[in-house]
């Protein structure tokens, strides 16, 4: 087949919420259903909540961001038809995003490798020129020999690991700075 | 999931750098560290797909999907259409495309957009479609206006429509912008010009399509989109056989 050059990415700009989460953006005559709002309803597994903020290089929270989530169910199975897809917009005042979902199961890859439970995350906002792929792992569910975490130097690995607190799991995403999150080219 | 699809590496020469000096927002929001590369796993090779049943009857028609009954949107009526393919040239069927844009005056329906141009009571500014079996899509809207934005100088965005595109795999996820043929602002725009390859910018520029234009009704613009293809290391028969 002919090789075609892929279309260039462009920033989602400050109003990505209009296009991807219009109800959240306040469009009163919107769609019959806003996508990415039913992770917990669509997947079997133990309910969990992950909260965080996207932090820029100045230390300020990103108020116009959107986190997309792709994950398997509690047994580690990926589904079709949008089940396992979520969207968590940054709050316009605080920057906090909230992911209400279920604990994903470990994933057995085609070659038999076992990946520790994780959420795939994709981050877009004004100022992000190409959407950023990263992951969220869970502190008590990380295997020592996880194939992806093992590739990352230990001091940076922690940027991918959500910590359990009184209010659910917490994971901030740092676009720059001392604690810059590990992003993937996948 | 039945089979795993390997995804071709992204060609970064066709994309903006994470930090583009003339686009000021990227200075503090573009990561500094090099991204970690690893072979496609099940997580990135799979991705959400959506059935046509998620769409409402007017989701693809921004000329009426926010209008009060009988209300008309202000501005030039346009239809945008094209084909979604992957880097191997295959049409991508049943893929969700979401669009959002400013109105004909250059104003977004968003509480943080305070530009002088008025809101249009009949225009919301978002729509969505799912590609057909042949990868084609189309939607109707109004031609958006250029608008000024704070970037340190006298910066105006070219008229554009934002596109969010899903493929078959989460790693194919793409957000981009569509520009209009002949717009002098494209050459002046720090966001469009953050793309280092002139031909890649040109491919984001929709062409007037008189063949699809409906006489006395609506002008058509053609905009084709290409997502990342499959890697060269995995052959078709390996996919089917295992
Ligand atoms: Fe815009």
List CB contacts (< 8 A) between B226 and chain A.
Answer: 4-7
pLDDT (0 to 100) of residue B95: 97
Contact predicate A27/A15, CB 8 Å: no
| Active-site residue, selected from the candidate residues B23, B108, B137, B179 | B108
Interface list for A 32-71 with B (CB within 8 A): 32-33, 35, 56-58, 62, 64, 68, 70
Among B31, B33, B27, B28, CA closest to B190: B27
Helical (H) or strand (E) element with A163: strand A161-165
Question: What are the φ/ψ torsions at residue B44 (nearest 5 degrees)?
Answer: -90, -20
Q: What is the 8-class DSSP label of residue A124? A: E
Sign of the dihedral defined by the CA atoms of residues A89, B165, B144, B148, in that order: positive
List the single residue in B46, B108, B195 with the smallest CB-CB distance to A15: B108
CA distance A39 to A136: 15
Contact predicate A21/A87, CB 8 Å: yes
Six token digits for residue B230: 């499959």
List the single residue in A6, A35, A132 with the smallest CB-CB distance to B14: A6
Contact predicate B117/B106, CB 8 Å: yes
Instruction: Compute how many other C-beta atoms are within 10 angstroms of the C-beta atom of residue B82.
Output: 20
| Angle A94-B17-A185 from CA coordinates, rounded to 5° | 80
CA distance A117 to A56: 27
CA B219 distance to own-chain centroid: 19
The per-residue pLDDT of chain B, averaged, comes to 93
| Angle A102-A106-A107 from CA coordinates, rounded to 5° | 115
Task: Find the residue in A nearest to B107 (Cα).
Answer: A15
pLDDT (0 to 100) of residue B234: 42
Task: Determine the distance in angstroms separating the CA of B87 from the nearest CA of chain A, rounded to an integer.
Answer: 5
CA distance B143 to B126: 13
What value does the mean pLDDT take over residues B181-195? Answer: 98
B1 — pLDDT class (breaks 50, 70, 90): very low
Instruction: Give the strand pairing for A173-174 and B77-86.
Output: unpaired
B147 is catalytic: yes
pLDDT above 70: percentage of residues in chain B? 93
User: Three-state DSSP class for B2?
Assistant: coil
Six token digits for residue B111: 């509480």
A111 — pLDDT class (breaks 50, 70, 90): confident
| Active-site residue, selected from the candidate residues B60, B81, B107, B160 | B160
What value does the mean pLDDT take over residues A110-133? Answer: 96
Residue B4 has pLDDT above 80, yes or no: no
Q: Please, what's the b/e burial string for B6-31 (b: 16 or more CB within 10 A of its CB; e: otherwise)?
A: bbbebeeebbbebbbeebbbbbbbbb
pLDDT (0 to 100) of residue B186: 98
Q: Would you call B26 and A127 a contact, using CB atoms and an 8 Å cutoff?
A: yes
Q: What is the 8-class DSSP label of residue A48? A: E
Mutate to test the interface with A, among B19, B25, B97 (most CBs of A within 10 A): B25
CA distance A157 to A174: 13
Q: Would you call B43 and A176 a contact, using CB atoms and an 8 Å cutoff?
A: no
Indicate the pTM of the whole model.
0.96
Is the ipTM reported for this complex over the cut 0.85?
A: yes
CA distance B182 to B178: 13
Residue B240 has pLDDT above 80, yes or no: no
Largest alpha-carbon pair distance within chain A? 54
SS (H, E, C) B153-200: CCEEECCEEEEEECCCCHHHCEEEEEEECCCCCHHHCCCHHHCCCHHH
Contacts (Cβ under 8 Å, ≥6 apart) of A126: A11, A12, A13, A14, A16, A62, A64, B25, B29
- Find the radius of gyration of the CA atoms of chain B: 19
Query: Which range, of A45-49, B38-42, B154-158, averages the lowest pLDDT?
Result: B38-42
Q: Please, what's the b/e burial string for A143-178 (b: 16 or more CB within 10 A of its CB; e: otherwise)?
A: eeebbbbeebeeeebebbbbeeeeeebebbbbbbee
């Amino acid at each position: 087949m002919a090789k075609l050059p892929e279309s260039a990415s462009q920033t989602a700009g400050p109003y990505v919420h209009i296009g991807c989460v219009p109800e959240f953006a306040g469009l009163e005559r919107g769609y019959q259903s806003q996508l990415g709002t039913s992770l917990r309803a669509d997947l079997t597994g133990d309910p969990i909540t992950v909260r965080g903020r996207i932090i820029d290089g100045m230390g300020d929270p990103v108020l116009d961001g959107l986190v997309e989530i792709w994950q398997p169910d509690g047994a580690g199975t990926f589904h079709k038809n949008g089940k396992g897809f979520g969207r968590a917009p940054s709050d316009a005042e605080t920057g906090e995003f909230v992911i209400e979902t279920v604990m994903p199961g470990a994933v057995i890859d085609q070659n038999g490798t076992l990946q520790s439970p994780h959420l795939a995350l994709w981050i877009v906002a004004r100022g992000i020129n190409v959407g950023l792929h990263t992951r969220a792992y869970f502190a008590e569910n990380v295997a020592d020999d996880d194939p992806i975490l093992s590739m990352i130097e230990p001091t940076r690995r922690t940027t991918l690991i959500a910590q359990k607190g009184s209010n659910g799991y917490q994971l901030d995403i740092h676009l720059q700075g001392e604690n810059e999150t590990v992003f993937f080219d996948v | 999931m039945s089979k795993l699809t390997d995804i071709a590496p992204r060609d970064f020469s066709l994309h903006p750098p994470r930090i583009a000096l003339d686009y000021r927002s990227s200075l503090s929001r573009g990561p500094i560290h090099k991204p970690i590369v690893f072979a496609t796993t099940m997580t990135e090779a799979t991705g959400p797909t959506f059935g046509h049943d998620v769409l409402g009857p007017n989701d693809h028609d921004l000329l009426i999907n926010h209008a009060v009954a009988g209300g008309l949107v202000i501005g030039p009526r346009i239809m945008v259409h094209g084909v979604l393919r992957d880097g191997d040239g295959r049409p991508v069927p049943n893929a969700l495309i979401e669009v959002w844009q400013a109105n004909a005056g250059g104003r977004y329906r968003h509480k943080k957009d305070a530009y002088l141009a008025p809101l249009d009571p009949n225009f919301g500014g978002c729509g969505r479609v799912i590609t057909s079996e042949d990868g084609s899509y189309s939607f109707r809207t109004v031609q958006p206006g250029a608008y000024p934005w704070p970037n340190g100088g006298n910066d105006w965005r070219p008229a554009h429509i934002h596109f969010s595109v899903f493929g078959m795999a989460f790693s194919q996820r793409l957000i981009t912008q569509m520009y209009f043929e002949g717009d002098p602002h494209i050459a002046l725009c720090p966001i469009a010009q953050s793309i280092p390859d002139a031909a890649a910018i040109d491919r984001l520029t929709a062409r007037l399509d008189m063949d699809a234009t409906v006489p006395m009704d609506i002008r058509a613009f053609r905009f084709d989109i290409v997502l990342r293809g499959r890697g060269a290391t995995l052959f078709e028969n390996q996919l089917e056989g295992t």
